[in-house]
Amino acid sequence: MIGPRTYGPRLIGGLAFGVLAVFFVIPLIFMIVVSFYQPDPMGFYKVDFVWENYGKFFSSFYYTVSFRSLYSAALGAVLVVALAFPLVLFVSDLSRRMQLFWIILLLSLMCLSEVIIGFAWLILMSESAGLPRLLEWVGLWKNPRSLSPSFGAMMIGLVFLGFSIVSLILYPSVSRRDRNIEEAAVTLGTPPALVFYKILIPTFRTSLVSVTLTMFVYLLGVFVMPTMLGRPKDWTMTVIISDKALGDANLPLGAALAVVMLIVTVLVLIVSALLTRRRAT
Amino acid sequence: MHNRMIGGGALRLATAIKGAKMAELTITNLRKSFGTFEALKDISIAVEDGEFICLLGGSGCGKTTLLRLIAGLETHNSGDILLGGQDLTQIPCHKRNIGMVFQSLALFPHLNVGDNIAYGMRLRGTPAKEADTEVARLLDMVGLTGLGKRAASALSGGQRQRVAIARALALQPQIFLMDEPFSALDAALRDQMQEEVKRIQRNLGVTTVFVTHDQREAMALADRIVVMNGGMIEQAGAPDVLYSRPATRFVATFIGINNILERDGQRPIAVRPEAITLDTKGDGLTGQILRQRRLGALLEREIKVGGQTLHQSEIAGNGPSFEDGATVTLSWSDDKAWALPA
């Protein structure tokens, strides 16, 4: 017997479940249903059952775009983690005071909205005010052009967006790690420069994979960065979906694309989870 | 061969007579500071080839810093560390041929038992077959035959200790360093591990430096104990020398229980509890029995003599028995009273 049975936690859990059901599952079902409706230029949709919307997905444009979003989200996620993990390692070895400084810096980055960050980069990469001008002034670039919109600019935006989140997720376990493990590796002949690859990455592999997957899903849903910093052909599925659903008032096509995206995302997650589990044993 | 009991000077003499082996590890005037804190103040010590040394002291005495300097995990401020005639301070940690067991054990969590032990060999490009045979041999040596495929996390505390020891010895190190490896184990397991480490060390003949704060552990393991305090060596000597002939007041009270008796105009003396016999009459110090407790075979008493509480112990039943509060006369033979520096 642990103690008298209390209903508090169950009640809260039940409430949370209820909220999730109402605000996630029901819209999801609605979305799936709508994806089979007929588009109606005059009034969003007509109730029907057609495969036409899914058919459109396999026409090359949407197909390419969906893989492009998978690609940019995956690349973004890998880049974010590849940059954030070394930084967190570096920060965790600083003095307490400096660590606190970095944590506050990262937290304050997280407080900025996507739109503000997007604008900031837009200005930084613009022809008239930003980095290109600086490069011209230094003499490194003769005829500067704006660096955005471009795939690279969008990537920078995505990485910036995910950076503080990933850093703060990794920080607790990295700062509490047993430093003796790295020292043991050195006493066994590992050159200090290789400790990162031979010990730290394998030790944190599970957390690195899971935080990369989290970032992947997060970046798939990012909307502002691609529209602000990317060219139309860099636009991710999220942008296309809202463009179709809201811009063209074609809700059924938007819904069908969203369903396909959801299925692909879940498949990617399942496959990566299976792969990591197999390697862990 | 018990002439080691005589202490550091005699030890050097004994080795000189043997004439065969030079001191394997020689540390001279070693200093190390962290900021304004002087962790090591002028440490000098010579460790013989194959010798088992315990660095003993309380927390902050510098024992772990000294070990880490030998390992190359810290950089020294001044002084020399020579291993087999080679200047160790010029060699980075990963190129020194050392085996180290950490307090936290620091097993690689992503590798199984066998791969942990084989890590160093793999790094040096030892052929897989050869490494496998060696891992099997090391597992046998530490009593973990057949557990090579287990995850390190699936082992018990004592088994993990053995893996850490096997891993440290896998590269046949010139010197074996251990940093309080058994502090997390319960008493029975600790005793068992001490015996095993001693056995393995004797068989391999590897020069060993073992850091501990536990004097019982140091007594059980060491050929020679180096007692450290405040970044300096108080005394280095065989366990029984430290016990019966402490060089300083610190050593006299740090190792075991001791009674320090001040004398007017003379150096104070240290008398061990078991050297004191009690009687109801006779001349000498008199005192009153404060407390008596029987611990199995041993009877321990606290006796109030003047303003001081002295300790006395004997095998129960070997002496007369007294009531609590009884007035007794204390006596000891002169050769059991050790004069300390003033």
pLDDT (tens digit per residue) in A172-183: 999 999 999 999
CATH number assigned to the domain covering B3-97+173-249: 3.40.50.300
Contact B114, B67 (CB under 8 A): no
Q: Considering CB atoms only, which of B104, B167, B170 is closest to A178?
A: B104
Q: pLDDT value at position A279?
A: 56
**What are the start and end residues of each CATH 2.40.50.140 domain in chain B?**
257-339
Q: Quick count: other Cβ atoms within 10 Å of Cβ A101?
A: 13
Q: What is the pLDDT of residues A225-276, one digit of tens each?
A: 888 888 888 888 888 888 887 777 788 888 888 888 888 888 888 888 787 7
Residue A139: pLDDT band by 50, 70, 90 thresholds?
confident
Residue B8: pLDDT band by 50, 70, 90 thresholds?
very low
Name the residue with higher pLDDT: B137 or A39. B137
CATH number assigned to the domain covering A36-280: 1.10.3720.10
Please state, in angstroms and rounded to a whole number, the distance separating the CA atoms of residues B291 and B305: 13
Q: pLDDT value at position A2?
A: 59
Please state, in angstroms and rounded to a whole number, the distance separating the CA atoms of residues A160 and A158: 5
CATH number assigned to the domain covering B257-339: 2.40.50.140
Evaluate if residue B68 carries a pLDDT over 60. yes
B88 exposed, middle or buried (CB, 10 Å; 0-12, 13-18, 19+)?
buried
Percent of chain B clearing pLDDT 90 (strictly above): 70
Scanning chain B, the segments in alpha helix (DSSP H) are: 8-18, 63-71, 113-123, 128-141, 157-169, 187-204, 215-221, 239-244, 249-254
A184 touches chain B (CB under 8 A): yes
Residue boundaries of the structural domains of chain A: 36-280
Q: pLDDT value at position B235?
A: 94
B126 touches chain A (CB under 8 A): no
Q: Considering CB atoms only, which of B105, B123, B168 is closest to A190?
A: B123
**What are the start and end residues of each CATH 3.40.50.300 domain in chain B?**
3-97+173-249
Q: Which residue of B has its CA nearest to A182?
A: B106
Residue A278: pLDDT band by 50, 70, 90 thresholds?
low
The predicted model gives B276-281 an average pLDDT of 88
Q: pLDDT value at position B180?
A: 93
Q: Which of B64, B102, B177 to probe the A interface (max A CBs under 10 A)?
A: B102
